[in-house]
Amino acid sequence: MSRASDRAYAAIRNMILAGELPAGTQLGEEALAEKCGVSRTPVRDALRRLESDMLVVRTDTQRSFVAEWSLHDVRDAFDLRAMLEGYAARRAAERMTADSLGRMRAANAQIAQAVALPRPDVGAFLEGNRLFHAAILEAAGSRRLVAQLGSLVEQPVVWRTAHHYGPDALHRSWSEHEELIAAFARGDGAWAEGIMRSHILRAYHAYADAHRGLSAAKPGPALSGNGAMTAHLIEVAA
């Protein structure tokens, strides 16, 4: 894959995940090529990769659109994530090092500071959350897990959910991280896996509750991973 294709892929993917290209938007190669500063061939390659990522759909007439996700699709993704991250937590507990544990504690300390403010700093929370989960995957030591989870865990989904969390929910996420750290410190894989699974599924229900609230307030099309839920983004504070 060429550097131009990689650049186009990253740019278009970011636009989709940020909500700049909402669900249902038609993706014209010429306009995207101009935005990305590349020719149409790299854009075409990028759209094929995004189709594999389930972020883009192609019609019988070969037109490309930003994919729409139903709430059922989102639940499916979270169920898979719970299984994979639960397994990652078990592996991490069995392979934990003092250095990895130290990074997790530092990341969760950042989260604690963010959620303790009178007006929680959601950006700092998200960065700490990203670092915490990245440290678990690194400790798990499986490139395949990283690749599989990459298509399920999108920071914008995380961002959306986090922005609908109140202070209590943000604090609960920090508290669950603390329990994970306790399991990791003891090398207890079964405990770590159980906490992680419930951590992820709680995040899904926060996402679903926010979606239902938005749907009740403003009837419209089914949940979109990028458009209808742009107001609601989080790895869902997992």
> pLDDT digits over 164-219, tens only?
567 888 899 999 999 999 999 999 999 999 999 999 999 888 778 776 765 555 44
Q: How confident is the model at residue 225 (pLDDT cuts 50, 70, 90)?
A: very low
Quickly count helices (H) and strands (E) in the chain: 10, 2
Collapsed DSSP state (helix, strand, coil) of residue 154: coil
Q: How confident is the model at residue 107 (pLDDT cuts 50, 70, 90)?
A: very high
Range of weakest confidence among 16-25, 72-81, 213-222, 225-234 = 225-234
Q: Which residue has the higher pLDDT, 31 or 203?
A: 31
Pick the most confident of 11-25, 114-128, 163-177. 114-128
Strand partners, 66: 56
- Residue 56 C-alpha from the chain's centroid: 17
Q: How far apart are CA 92 and CA 195, in angstroms?
A: 13
- The pLDDT assigned to 195 comes to 97
- For the chain, report the end-to-end CA distance as a whole number of angstroms: 33
Say what percent of the chain tops pLDDT 70: 81
Report which of 127, 26, 144 is spatially closest to residue 84, judged by C-alpha positions: 144
Q: Which residue has the higher pLDDT, 62 or 177?
A: 177
Q: How far apart are CA 147 and CA 158, in angstroms?
A: 18
- The pLDDT assigned to 164 comes to 59
**Buried-exposed string 38-61: b where 16+ CB fall within 10 A, e elsewhere:** beeebbebbbebbeeeebbbeeee
Residue 68 pLDDT more than 70? yes
Collapsed DSSP state (helix, strand, coil) of residue 168: helix
Collapsed DSSP state (helix, strand, coil) of residue 120: coil
Range of weakest confidence among 16-25, 118-127, 184-193 = 16-25
- The pLDDT assigned to 226 comes to 34
Mean pLDDT of 103-124: 94
State the burial class of residue 195 (Cβ atoms within 10 Å of its Cβ: 0-12, 13-18, 19+): buried
Spell out the domains of the chain, with CATH numbers in brackets: 3-66 (1.10.10.10), 71-232 (1.20.120.530)
Residue 221 pLDDT more than 60? no
**Structural element, H or E, at residue 64:** strand 64-66
Collapsed DSSP state (helix, strand, coil) of residue 57: strand
Range of weakest confidence among 28-32, 55-59, 103-107, 216-220 = 216-220
Report which of 133, 154, 199 is spatially closest to residue 50, judged by C-alpha positions: 154
**43 token code pair:** 């854009």
Question: Quick check: 173 and 129 in contact, CB under 8 A?
Answer: yes
Mean pLDDT of 150-168: 61
- The pLDDT assigned to 219 comes to 44
